[in-house]
Amino acid sequence: MTSLPDPSVPSPVATAASWHTFASLDRATLDWAALDRRVRAGPGDDGTDNGGDDRTGNNDPGTLVITRPKPKTKRPNMYRVLLLNDDYTPMEFVVHVLERFFQKSREEATRVMLHVHHHGVGECGVYTYEVAETKVTQVMDFARKHQHPLQCVMEKK
């Protein structure tokens, strides 16, 4: 025995015709062909006109074509990885960190290092959460291993 769909679960049928249309129907006396016509007719139409062509080019009133929308993919949130200035970490060490962990050229690493030195903070790159978190951890561990107080943080872009 076929049961009616749950009204709390969105379905293509529930979007084609409102749920209250089906709620008053008795399962034993359900006329599937009439229901099919009502669904295809849409709101404001009683579905009695059987002359219409459906999407398949088929005039059969017992045929219903339901297309499901493709799910939207969401882009991941991006995070900026930042270096913070301090008075103790050597400039050459900061350049080395930028080259090693952020694949910067010598010139680009020097430019970022000078920006950090003059402005107090500089952006190393923009990454997904997991990549940014890994880079922050790697930089902090590397700085501690070499006994430098260099700070590296990430912030949502």
Which domains can be identified in the chain, with CATH numbers?
9-72 (no CATH), 78-156 (3.30.1390.10)
- The whole-number pLDDT of residue 133 equals 99
Q: What is the pLDDT of residues 108-156, one digit of tens each?
A: 999 999 999 999 999 999 999 999 999 999 999 999 999 999 999 999 9
What's the predicted TM-score (pTM) here? Answer: 0.57
Between 51 and 90, the more confident residue is 90
The residue written with tokens 């229901």 in the block is: 35
Taking the CA atoms of 126, 129, 130 and 135 in sequence, report the sign of the dihedral they define. Answer: positive
Q: What is the pLDDT of residues 69-82, one digit of tens each?
A: 888 999 999 999 99
Q: How far apart are CA 133 and CA 136, in angstroms?
A: 5
Taking the CA atoms of 21, 22, 25 and 30 in sequence, report the sign of the dihedral they define. Answer: positive
